[in-house]
Amino acid sequence: MPDRPYVIDEMISAKAIAARVEALAKEITRAFRGTDKLVVVGLLRGSFVFIADLVREIDLPVEVDFLEASSYGDAMQSSREVRILKDLRGEISGRDVLVVEDIVDTGFTLSHVVNLLRSRVPKRLEVCALLDKPSRREVAIKATWTGFEIPDEFVVGYGIDFAQRNRNLPYIGAVHFTGDGA
């Protein structure tokens, strides 16, 4: 698929992202005021740029950890199964936890991750997602904080990739395929 020609149209500017990240961090700081340490769990790989910017703006003591999950299935029918490829290094029992996700799409992966982390009995668990595509939701889950609600478009940039490309774009862009492709 990456050999198929495409263009990327800017959807959310780097300036708009920076302003929204700052506002989200202020809301998160207020919500977790008084915590001794907030464990910020980034869902790899798409959230790495977002989490880096977000934690720099959160005015609390933070610990950063990562979890990598993969949902898989064949192209004709998704199995809706989620595998954990990289688990947390630290314990979250009795701790304040913020899960940071790049996109909430169908909700399968985030729902699985939230249920897994809740089973570890954190003191509090909340979710912050950069992007939300509510039109694609198949599982009833909603982030506590959302950066931007977007239409059902394939997007890249700001850590989000297409076949491991375009993560380095400073903005969120919609991918549009051109020509006949291969």
Positions annotated as catalytic residues are: 105
Alpha helices per DSSP H over the chain: 14-31, 48-57, 108-118
Q: How far apart are the C-alpha atoms of 6 and 118, rounded to whole Å?
A: 40
List the one residue out of 95, 126, 97, 113 whose CA is nearest residue 46.
Answer: 113
List the one residue out of 102, 19, 30 whose CA is nearest residue 67.
Answer: 102
Q: Is residue 159 within 8 Å of 42, Cβ to Cβ? A: no
| Phi and psi based region of residue 110 (left: phi greater than 0; alpha: psi -120 to 50; beta: remaining) | alpha
Tokens 């595509």 identify what position?
133
Residue 68 phi/psi, 5-degree rounding, is -120, 125
C-alpha to C-alpha distances, 169 to 25, 81, 103, nearest whole angstrom: 22, 30, 16
